[in-house]
Every structure is written in C-alpha cells, then in structure tokens.
Structure 1
C-alpha cells in the first residue's frame, strides 16, 4: 500500500486541490502505466505545518512542500523502474506544486 505524506503550510492547498492531487497520485498506481493496484490501496495524507514550525536551511518557510513516500508492499526492481515512477510522479505534482512556484522535495 503506497503511503504519501504531504507536509505543507496551511492554505497552500484548497480542499479541491487536495482532492485533485490525491486523484493524480492515485492514477499513477491505477492507470494504464501503473502498477495495477486498486485505488483503495493508495493513501495520501495532507499534513499542515504552521510556518513557525517549518524550517528549511534554518529559516522558516511558507513556500515549501515536503513529500514522503513509503512503498510498503512493493519495491522497484531496477533504477530505471524507480526513475520512471519519479518522472510520472513529478508530472502529476507539477500543476499543484511546480506550476504554482512552490519549492518541493520528494
């Protein structure tokens, strides 16, 4: 069961944006090029962290999104497979993070 934790400051994502981002992440696993998992296996948790508790480089930030992924049941068989997943993941994130000029780390 893939578990995605998305750490962000309050207000970075609306309710609709969270739903759309969770759907985009789920489709990575369930879509044509996905792992063939049922949608209910994919868990996405949004964790708001107030700016005064979110530091990058020793400074508070409200423009950063940190994403932690755990693939509990399956792993990648090769570097190419892992890279392919990360490419699809970055593409799924782009409208919600990159195109909104947020800094991020997966």
Structure 2
C-alpha cells in the first residue's frame, strides 16, 4: 500500500484540488499494477505557526511522508526513477503553485501489513491481479 500523508498550509487545497491530487497519486500506482484501493492519501492542514522549517514559520511548505508497503524499490536506480516520477507528479500540485515541497519514502516490510484480516497477495501474483480487478480485498 502506498500511504501518503500530505502536510500543507491551511487553505492550500480546496476539496476539488485534494481529489485531483489524490487521483494523480492513485493513477501513478494503478499504472504500475497496484489495486487502486491500496492507495491512501490523507491531507493534514497545518497552521503557519505550527509548520516551521529551520525554526521559521512557513505558510507555503508542503511536506509529504510516503509509506511504501506493497512494492519496494530493488536498487538505487529504481529509487531514482521513483523520485524523478514523483517529482513530476507533484509539480502541478506544489511547485507550480508556488509551494515549497519536500517528500520522503519509507519502505515498510510487507509481512507487517494486513487488510481486513487478510495478508495481501504476492506482488504480480494471480491473486493480486484478482484484487486489482475487484478493487477490494477478497479471499484468495
């Protein structure tokens, strides 16, 4: 599962902009074969007085914490490709709007993840393809 926590200034995104942002994030992973329901995007509005960079309040910063659980990048080249792709994905939602943006990715061990009491199927397996088609966790 990719879990995105997007910390941003109050009012930086309308409800529609959040939906568009989350749709772009979801499409990124769905295009790579993950079920759409794996992708969770949570927006956290942070008052300027509570969002400090280098000890200075910021009203333009967006900080994104991404947890990758379903798939991990196998090597530095793959990680660079993900970073580059996410930088392009984020630009219209951040930098192009005059917002400062940072992100990082944590990779959680897959065996520490369950959905509705089910261990997600192996990457690329027929069971995972079933979850993609059904867009929900089903017994396999």
2:9 corresponds in structure 1 to 9
Look up the SS of the partner of 2:64 in the other structure: strand
Q: Give the Å deviation of 1:25.
A: 0.7
Higher relative contact order (CA 8 A, sep 6+): 1
Structure 2 residue 68 is the aligned partner of structure 1 residue 88: no
TM-superposed CA distance for 1:83, in Å, is 1.2
Does residue 19 (structure 1) correspond to residue 19 (structure 2)? The answer is yes
Report SS of the residue matched to 2:70.
coil
* 1:73 CA displacement: 3.0
Q: TM-score, normalised by structure 2?
A: 0.71
Consecutive aligned runs of 4 or more in structure 1 exceeding 4 Å deviation: none
Secondary structure at 1:77's aligned position in 2?
coil
Shift of 1:97: 0.4
Instruction: Find the partner of 1:38 among 28, 35, 39.
Output: 35
**Among 47, 54, 58, the residue aligned to 1:57:** 54
Is residue 102 from structure 1 mapped to residue 99 from structure 2 by the alignment?
A: yes
The CA deviation at 1:74 is 2.4
Equivalent in 32, 57, 69 of residue 72 of structure 1: 69
- Secondary structure at the aligned position of 1:13 is classed as coil
Q: How many residues align?
A: 103
